[in-house]
Amino acid sequence: MIRAILIFNNHGKPRLSKFYEHYTEDTEQQIIRETFHLVSKRDENVCNFLEGGMLIGGSDYKLIYRHYATLYFVFCVDSSESELGILDLIQVFVETLDKCFENVCELDLIFHVDKVHNILAEMVMGGMVLETNMNEIIMQVDAQNKMEKSEAGIAGAPARAVSAVKNMNLPEMPRNINIGDISIKVPNLPSFK
């Protein structure tokens, strides 16, 4: 069983924290700090497994982590999970995020933390691995996002119109429109942006 999934950056700031066992808020923050402390001490070429810290349950639990650029992905698991399997699961998770966000970076995780939660919910449920097939996960997440968008309905129209215009590629405005012998001078329109 997976006890917790944590993503934090090289300075220990949490980017995602999902606990499958109940802890108080203070304890959760302490666990994040303790895990960061344990994981950041590790060299680059040592193995990816660590015994868990005191707070998360001690030596019965293992921390399996992977370091990608500025982020640490840490899964805290007990002995019923296969260590190498979880390592692969982290890889699948990161690849899925990459597909969903188009070359994911830390900023994507910061500003779309709810989306990351939704993706994670399709992979791990109640501390157990649910789905490991990347295409299946992405398919489900897309369907759910579509549902949300369609629900926005009329209320969402102005916002969508604004974002559509902002992204529109306006061709260069002609200064003069010459049709036959009519010449129209186009006034200077204010920029949409």
Q: Which residues of this chain interact with other proteins, rule CB under 8 A?
A: 14, 16-17, 20, 22, 25, 28-29, 32, 43, 45-51, 82-85, 87-89, 92, 110-115, 117-118, 121, 125-133, 135-136, 140, 143-144, 147-149, 151-152, 155-156, 159
Give φ, ψ of 23 to 5 degrees: -130, 155
Contacts of residue 169, defined as CB under 8 A and 6 or more positions apart, other chains included, come to: none
Nearest to 57 by CA among 4, 118, 133, 117: 4
- For the CB of residue 83, give the shortest distance to other proteins in the complex, in Å: 6
Nearest distance from C-beta of residue 163 to other proteins, angstroms: 9
Question: In the beta sheet, which residues pair with residue 131?
Answer: none
Specify the residue, 46 or 179, whose C-beta has the smaller distance to other proteins. 46
Q: Which residue, 21, 53, 14, is CA-closest to 37?
A: 53
Q: Whole-number minimum distance, CB 126 to other proteins, in Å? A: 3
In whole angstroms, the minimum distance from the beta carbon of 47 to other proteins comes to: 4
